[in-house]
A and B are shown apart, each in its own frame.
Chain A
Amino acid sequence: MTTSAPLPAGLRARVLDASRQARPAGRPFPEVPAISPVEAFSRAAEALYQTLGALDAAGWRRPAIRDLDVQGLVGHLIGVEDDMRRCLAGDPAVAQADHVASTRAAADRQAGRGPEETLDEWHHAVGRTLDQLAGVDDLEAIVALHGMRLPLRALLIARAFELWTHENDIRLTSGLELAVPEPATLHLMTALAANLLPHAARSAGMRQAAQVHLVLTGPGGGTWDVELDGMPVPGPVQLSIVTDAVGFCRLAANRLTPDELELHVTGDRDQAAELLAAASTLALD
């Protein structure tokens, strides 16, 4: 039996304050182990390597993305690693190079080769990138690659994002279950995507300022309060968006549309839809 005693004044604030002191808002539970962006990139590459290693010869010839089959897609990734190493070496030629055009030759070069040869070349290319990264101390240094100018830390997470996305392109065409990054890598990816939302909104021409409370559920998720700058409007504009962490990453990778996400939105639904559509422009294919 319970009574319906009215709540004492101040109890709500006291309870919420004590709770936030016990565990700061935004911090996911359970906490994921912190890993470096280099480790995240390495793990994403290893996961893709395992998926590719399990494909048979027919699997390598299945269409993957654009006009590329799986082997051509891996060739594209060989080209990306070549440009990545040039970026790390400070070569300005790759700063504004087009992500697809710049890697086209490497993709085309795979035609007629055996899958193992392509796999080995890509695996060695990743190894050379990691060797080069081993000599880098400053992950906050600004680097430029394929039209992106950002800290090396963020570029490495974007590269982990890219490898995971292409791994799933391959798994999808092969009829395999989609892969989910382990929580430590996924948390870096969700944090990157959340923190890039203002950039995505600006790039997409969103004009209205807003505060966005973004909640990404599931392992690797978290909660972020993101400010979208733009024209101020009377009164606070607040959007709250709750969705699944993996789904949000697939949206940011341009592999899901906002309509395909299970969303819980508070605030202006049109503005939320516009923001999520903007998020999907973050991807590099």
Chain B
Amino acid sequence: MGGTDELLAARLAAGDDYALAEVFDRFGTVVYGAAVCIVGDGNSAQDVVQDVFVELWSHPDRYDPAAGSLRTYLTLRARHRAVDTVRSELRRVARHERHYRLTVGDEPRSPGEEVLTADMASTVRAAIEQLPAAQRQVVELAYFEGLTYREVALAVGIPEGTAKSRLRLALAKLETVLDRQLLEPP
């Protein structure tokens, strides 16, 4: 069956699982490709693809055919979801590193973790490189060194409030940079 995006959206809302299969067959490769660009071709990319299609099926109203094509919508959702994955993975790794420092010292990460981290973090690290030096410093201390606001303030020699506001500003810029990357046409 042929069908415009509008018809596909209406069929998804009607609970037509044939339409969902049709959407996957048309756009699954593109969605997977968008995820691989950001998180690599491991399990995380498959998780991203699953999340994107489950979201489309569970909340078909979030796609508005008047706002753009289904292909673009799904690609953007994949990129957002992939960057979320990278962000949460960075936080997890930072927590993990700090935990090791406090408990068992400088034990190396597992090879799998090293690969995952390197792969998934590349996009975010590139964005961090674009920050002004002062902001980059607090981001690195807080997220890669796992320091608290107070520890960041002491390390840099600035008041704790300044550390907080500098970090908030840095993260806002970071999100803008990442979002701009997300909005690049596929």
A residues lining the B interface (CB < 8 Å): 1-8, 11-12, 14-16, 18-20, 22-30, 213, 215-218, 221-223, 240, 242, 245, 264-266
Contacts and interface: CB of A to CB of B under 8 A. Distances in A.
B154 interface: no
B73 to A, nearest CB: 14
A265 B49 CA distance: 29
Nearest to A11: B46
Interface of B is mostly: helix
B19 to A, nearest CB: 8
Pairs A-B, 3 closest by C-beta atoms: A25-B17, A2-B33, A217-B10
B45 to A, nearest CB: 8
Contacts of A25: 15-17
B58 interface: yes
Counting chain B residues whose Cβ lies within 8 A of the other chain, the interface size class is 35 or more
A162 B92 CA distance: 61
B15 A242 contact: no
A16 B50 CA distance: 8
A12 B61 contact: no
Contacts of A265: 1
B61 A30 contact: yes
25 contacts: A1-B184, A2-B37, A2-B186, A3-B33, A5-B32, A5-B45, A7-B29, A7-B32, A11-B32, A12-B21, A14-B50, A22-B54, A22-B57, A24-B15, A29-B60, A29-B61, A215-B11, A221-B14, A222-B15, A223-B14, A223-B17, A245-B14, A264-B1, A264-B2, A265-B1
Contacts of B13: 28-29, 217, 221
Contacts of B112: none
Given A2-B186, A217-B14, A223-B15, A7 B60 contact: no
Contacts of B17: 16, 19-20, 25-26, 223
Given A12-B28, A216-B14, A264-B1, 4 more contacts: A7-B29, A18-B54, A26-B17, A215-B14
